């Protein structure tokens, strides 16, 4: 069987497994959607589309700094695919990194620049969310509803961002460290395919060019304001999606409520033990809503609808996008 067919078969099986695991949630959500105000639900969908559009623009801006010109539609497709692969193949963003490097190789531009740009994107994406999280925690503290789990989750996320930044900087200090890392990955490939898929000269080139790309970002750091601003706008679109979910069912809210619930939703998704928070995020978010005085049925209604727009629809789009990736064709 060709590698493309193997890849599509495996991702299809995983996609069906995820659908099966969440079948009850999907069935409930479809019933809930039917009772909502349709134009607010449409606006929720549009704001979530803009969430991914701005994510794609963050990646494009990081690519442009490194003199890589990617078409917007291609970057948007890869953004959805990265979301799907990150869910289907939990690997601490490694599957998404492999995706962008694979596309770079297929399109004949630097894999190393794609790698460094993708690592930088992860940091900026987390930083944008962390700003919302801190604001949400401050509001919870003022309301007296801050609990140990939220504090632990925020501390864990901060430690993860700090550790990730340190690790990336450490790895990009010397060519030998990058070469060693990719050398370990190459050993996982069958010997008969190793020289074809990841030859030593390619590993050496990636190591050398990754250092150069990192240094280029350091020299052009004054240009990094754009991806940082886009990251904050992206998270604002996510919060807007939640706002329209409240409006769709006539649930009263304040700006404080939106910030708190959105921050907690993203936190549970980030630190959950399951891929993209399947199962655990739903329970944790429902508990957060009830702690704010919302009836459990209303909390469940809101949570299910929000997850449709932030997880299930992007998951399906990501699966379709993944099947059209250039590097597996």
- For residue 90, what are its two tokens? 């939990």
User: DSSP labels for 262-286?
Assistant: HHHHHHHHHH-SSGGGTTHHHHHHH
Q: Find the radius of gyration of the CA atoms of the chain.
A: 21
pLDDT (tens digit, 9 = 90+) per residue, 5-22? 556 676 777 667 666 666
| Per-residue pLDDT, 100 | 85
> Do 81 and 318 touch, CB atoms closer than 8 A?
yes
Between CA 221 and CA 215 the distance in angstroms is: 10
User: DSSP labels for 143-167?
Assistant: HT---HHHHHHHHHHHHHHHHHHHH
| Per-residue pLDDT, 301 | 82
> Do 116 and 214 touch, CB atoms closer than 8 A?
yes
| Per-residue pLDDT, 90 | 58
What residue spans define the domains of the chain?
A: 38-271+316-328
The residue behind tokens 């809101």 is: 302
Between CA 96 and CA 118 the distance in angstroms is: 8
Q: Which stretches of the chain score pLDDT less than 50? A: none
The residue behind tokens 């692969």 is: 85
Between CA 261 and CA 246 the distance in angstroms is: 11
Which among 58, 50, 59 is positioned nearest to 99, based on CA atoms? 59
**How wide is the angle at C-alpha 81 spanned by C-alphas 76 and 82, nearest 5°?**
95
| Per-residue pLDDT, 47 | 95
**DSSP code at position 328:** G
> Do 309 and 26 touch, CB atoms closer than 8 A?
no
- For residue 45, what are its two tokens? 């969908």
**Residue 34: alpha-carbon gap to chain centroid:** 28
| Per-residue pLDDT, 157 | 64
| Per-residue pLDDT, 281 | 67
Between CA 229 and CA 252 the distance in angstroms is: 30
């Amino acid at each position: 069987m060709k590698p493309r067919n193997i890849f599509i078969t495996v991702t299809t099986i995983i996609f069906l497994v995820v659908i099966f695991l969440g079948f009850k949630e999907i069935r409930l959500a479809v019933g809930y959607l039917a009772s909502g105000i349709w134009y607010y639900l449409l606006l929720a969908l549009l704001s979530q589309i803009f969430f991914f559009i701005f994510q794609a623009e963050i990646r494009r801006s990081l690519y442009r700094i490194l003199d890589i010109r990617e078409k917007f539609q291609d970057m948007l497709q890869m953004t959805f695919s990265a979301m799907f692969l990150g869910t289907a193949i939990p690997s601490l963003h490694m599957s998404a990194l492999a995706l962008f490097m694979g596309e770079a190789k297929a399109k004949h531009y630097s894999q190393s620049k794609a790698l460094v740009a993708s690592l930088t994107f992860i940091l900026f994406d987390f930083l944008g969310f962390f700003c919302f999280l801190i604001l949400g925690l401050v509001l919870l503290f003022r309301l007296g509803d801050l609990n140990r789990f939220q504090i632990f989750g925020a501390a864990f996320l901060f430690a993860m961002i700090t550790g990730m930044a340190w690790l990336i900087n450490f790895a990009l200090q010397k060519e030998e460290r990058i070469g060693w890392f990719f050398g370990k990955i190459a050993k996982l490939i069958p010997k008969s395919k190793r020289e074809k898929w990841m030859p030593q000269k390619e590993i050496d080139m990636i190591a050398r060019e990754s250092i150069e790309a990192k240094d280029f970002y350091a020299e052009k750091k004054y240009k990094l304001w754009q991806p940082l601003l886009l990251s904050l706008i992206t998270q604002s679109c996510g919060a807007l999606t939640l706002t329209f979910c409240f409006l769709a069912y006539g649930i009263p809210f304040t700006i404080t409520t939106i910030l708190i619930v959105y921050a907690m939703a993203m936190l549970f998704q980030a630190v959950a033990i399951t891929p993209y928070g399947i199962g655990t995020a739903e329970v944790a978010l429902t508990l957060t809503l009830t702690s704010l005085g919302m009836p459990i049925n209303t909390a469940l209604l809101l949570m299910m609808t929000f997850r449709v727009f932030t997880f299930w629809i992007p998951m399906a789009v990501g699966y379709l996008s993944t099947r059209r990736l250039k590097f597996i064709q």
